[in-house]
């Protein structure tokens, strides 16, 4: 599962990383970084439109184009094992795949009444790129473009907290994942593998992350875990 992500870079930095021009309605600056992003928020994705890569803001919470409900909840995630088959996702999987660049993601360790949030990122920092699918829905109030993040079975680092984790794409797979000419599951699904645990690091962070209104880089500061049943493998908490 992936129900909270973090972006500690600006839109300009994301666009520069992929060599893209960008035209977002409200570009973020370094003063408005999104450290604690929940579903229903706008998130940047890289997709192909009219044969060109572009950076666009989409609402996190996938709604298929054929939806008839006036206020659907939307799907934050889609399972890699069934994304090519489920009616809600299969058309987008064939035709509308995207890259979701993030700085990291959060997961929670349950312990009695306590839920301790942990932050996970690439070992040493930097961006990771998640596999996504998107669609365009004609809502009662106008067109809404939405996105879901794909998930795979968790690796050894994440599994003590949750049995699922986001599907992290390797750089050499970006072009194939975005290629609108490629629609065969047997070519695309092998890209959605469980990411090696040694290439990630994680640590416990403030319970303030539990509030979707909380923001700020201080949310990523490591703290001693409230739940003692799990110690992150790649970060030594003092």
Q: Which residues are catalytically annotated?
A: 2, 107
Rounded distance, CA 108 to CA 117, Å? 4
Answer positive or negative: Cα dihedral of 195, 79, 103, 4: negative
Rounded distance, CA 143 to CA 145, Å? 7
Give the 3-state secondary structure of residue 55: strand
Calculate the CA 226 to chain-centre distance. 26
Q: Which residues of 61-94 are buried (b: 16+ CB within 10 A; e: fewer)?
A: bbbbeebeeeebebbbbbbbeebbeeebbbebbb
Strand (E) or helix (H) holding 48: strand 42-49
Q: Which two tokens stand for residue 194?
A: 């469980």
């Amino acid at each position: 599962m992936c129900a909270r992500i973090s972006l500690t870079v600006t839109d300009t930095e994301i666009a520069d990383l992929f060599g893209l021009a960008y035209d977002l309605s409200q570009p973020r600056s370094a003063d408005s970084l999104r450290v604690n992003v929940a579903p229903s928020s706008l998130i940047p994705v890289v997709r192909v439109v009219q044969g060109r890569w572009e950076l666009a803001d989409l609402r996190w919470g996938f709604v298929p184009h054929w939806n008839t409900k006036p206020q659907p909840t939307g799907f934050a995630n889609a399972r890699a094992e069934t994304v090519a088959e489920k009616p809600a996702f299969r058309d987008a999987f064939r035709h509308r795949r995207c890259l979701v660049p993030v700085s990291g993601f959060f997961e929670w360790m349950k312990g009695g009444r306590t839920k301790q949030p942990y932050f996970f990122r690439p070992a040493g920092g930097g961006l990771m790129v998640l596999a996504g699918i998107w669609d365009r829905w004609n809502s009662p109030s106008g067109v809404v473009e939405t996105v879901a993040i794909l998930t795979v079975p968790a690796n050894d680092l994440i599994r003590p907290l949750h049995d699922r984790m986001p599907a992290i794409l390797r750089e050499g797979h970006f072009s194939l994942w975005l290629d609108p000419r490629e629609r065969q599951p047997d070519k695309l699904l092998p890209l959605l593998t469980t990411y090696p645990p040694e290439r990630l690091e994680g640590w416990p962070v403030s319970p303030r992350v539990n509030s979707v209104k909380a923001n700020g880089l201080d949310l990523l500061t490591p703290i001693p875990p409230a739940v003692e049943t799990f110690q992150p493998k790649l970060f030594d908490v003092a």
